[in-house]
Amino acid sequence: MRMRMKRVITRRDFLRGTVYAAMAGSAGFGASGQAEAGAEERVKVVLVRNENVVDREGRINPEIIQQMLDQGISTLLGEGNAAQAWRKLVKPDDIVGIKSNGWSPLPTPRELEVAIERRIRETGVPKKNVSIDDRGVLNNRVFLSSTALINVRPLRTHYWSGIGGCIKNYIMFVSTPWLYHPDACSPLATIWSKPIVKGKTRLNILSLLRTQFYGRGPHSFDRRFVSDYKGLLIGKDPVALDAVGAKLLQLQRGVYLGEDRPLDTTPRHIFAADEKYRLGVSDLRRIEVVKSGWMEGALI
Amino acid sequence: MRFQKKYLPFLILIVSSALAMSENPAFSADGKTVGMKRLLPQKVGNYKSDGKDQFYDRQTAFRYMDGAAELYRSYAFKLLMVRRYVKDGSPPIVVELFDMGSPEDAFGVFSFETEGEDPGVGQGSGYGGGLLRFWKGKYFVNVYGEQDKPPTREDVLSVGGVVAQSIKKEGQRPRLLNHLPDKGLSARSIRYFHDPHSLNHHYFLSHENILQLGEKTNAVLAVYSMPAAQGKTLLLVIEYPTRVRADSAFLNFVKAYMPEAPLTKAARIENGKWTMAQVYQKHVIVVFDAFSQKSGEALIGTTRQRLREK
């Protein structure tokens, strides 16, 4: 058996443009590299944007966000309407946890939570079997007995893990989150194999209504570095959503800061989720971004 | 009866202290919380404390600031006190007072971000986007508004100024800064840290800890502005506990980052600029993005001289 040497990734790999190959190599697994990329199945994610979803005062229009969600789910699942699409995802006897994110500077918008819950209820799931939660999931009856999870959170840079996205949003399913912080949070995907979540996630949604592309200040939040992107990124593969999200944040930094400025922390957990833990696809060449709606300044 | 009355105030104090400890995991019996409370006035102008002070230590800080706590934990952070000041008709102002264990580490966490104007608060400060950051003595302080409509600059600076004045004891910046050559040094670019994550935040080097940084190493990174067209050069000076540790880190760095230059320890990298490194006593000196080999060697040479002198 051929042993693969552990590869150290440095700044020079970024300058050479060989980071992905180096990342794959460092994980010690067969890289889905240049030659193989074209042969493998592509993963679909849907980007929906609407320039009117957030008004000048920062208020979110609940009707428009519902339309965006419906459009995104229908496109993702290839159904003619949202009701049919949701019925593919959730059954009336499911117990559904909507894993949100309550980080106070940039939480999952309440309007989006309501829009998701409404569609789940319309599939026939009784109210007592649906719950929205973040930090309380380990004490929440619905989450503890759930058969289906919907994962929804905003996209932002993160001091320790590079980005806060779908993969990281499940950290509240463990009682000792700090144990996942070493090595830029690279083991985060292991949480997805824990019994409380394993195999239950039916849908992942990255809220791009507002994206935080640069962290600063005591809580790594600064209003000046939050963009009204007015979008939703929807898919079944959390790794693909995070890979696209990381790329978007990097591009937004370039536009706003006027220079090509990589994320302060390389989001290793995304690559590890793909190459080491096989949770999904991180290679952008294997991710198809289907766009719907207003695309001015979309960057991706 | 007289005996009981005499000791009644002490009894009340003991019971109330016990209650406070049971409610706040960060409460320490050595009176640190009391000392920190004394540093924050109850009233500043028309703002007054909401009476709901919070304390967090190295273990509980995650509850307050999630993963952002790792920044403070990468220094010798001891205790955080959070107090909200409220005023009718105005957004509340939050003061976060960090006991960083030493003036060096208070400066260090302050140096993590040095953007914005310097309003002259404490021993070093920065203001921008409604956030005031400053350090004084062993304390690092954030003052800011929580809501979408932030408090005025005047109010934030006023509260910050009063807090800074109440911290009486000043402290020294890290000694390692004294070894930085003066010519071309951008003072606001100086960063002081211990761990590889902070280095990567300012200048991504590697996802591995190739310079073997850690809590027992002290590092300073600074930008040097060179003459026009030569751009910016970075100087990194790391102090290790021993010469042996410095040698080990130096060799590891050269092997991982400049494998083509095992003898010269200088390489022209992919952006056309030069990286070079030397070990001196228990220090490793690295220059990144030098315009030429000669200019990089000159910066290292001056740094060696400063290390020798002090």
Q: Please name every residue paired with A151 in a beta bridge, in sequence order, or none if there are none.
A: A99, A204
Distance from CA of B102 to the nearest CA of A (A): 19
What is the average pLDDT score of chain B?
A: 88
* Chain B residues close to A58, C-beta within 8 Å: 148
Question: Which pTM does this prediction carry?
Answer: 0.76
Hey, are the CB atoms on B206 and A9 less than 8 Å from each other? yes
Query: What's the average model confidence in pLDDT over B147-173?
Result: 90
* Residue B5: predicted pLDDT: 56
For chain B, percent of residues with pLDDT exceeding 90: 69
Q: What is each CA distance from B150 to A58, A105, A124, A234, B93, in whole angstroms?
A: 15, 13, 44, 33, 8
Lowest mean pLDDT among B7-11, B146-150, B220-224: B7-11
pLDDT digits (tens, 9 = 90+) for B130-150: 889 999 999 999 999 876 677
Residues A189, A166 contacting (CB under 8 angstroms): no
Model confidence band, residue B59 (pLDDT cutoffs 50, 70, 90): confident
Instruction: Report whether pLDDT(B28) > 70.
Output: no
Q: Report phi then psi at A77, rounded to 5.
A: -100, 0
* Residue A258: predicted pLDDT: 83
The conformation of residue B234, written as its DSSP 8-state character, comes to: E
Interface of A with B (CB under 8 A): 8-12, 14-16, 26, 58, 103-104, 158-161, 177-178, 181, 183-185, 215-220, 222-224, 262, 264-266, 268
B268 CB within 8 Å of a chain A CB: no
* Chain A residues close to B96, C-beta within 8 Å: 218
* Residue B228: predicted pLDDT: 67
User: At residue B290, what is the residue type?
Assistant: A
* Residue A22: predicted pLDDT: 55
SS3 A96: strand
Best of B57, B201, B207, B208 to substitute, by most chain A Cβ atoms within 10 angstroms, is B207
Q: Which residues of chain A have a pLDDT value below 50?
A: 1-5, 25-38
Question: Whose CA is closest to A223, among A234, A235, A212?
Answer: A212
Angle at A65 between CA A60 and CA A67, to 5 degrees: 150
Q: Which residue of B has its CA nearest to A266?
A: B207
The burial class, CB within 10 Å (0-12 / 13-18 / 19+), for B253 is buried
Distance from CA of A118 to the nearest CA of B (A): 28
B73 CB within 8 Å of a chain A CB: no
Instruction: Report whether pLDDT(B24) > 80.
Output: no
B148, B201, B256 member nearest A10 (Cβ): B256
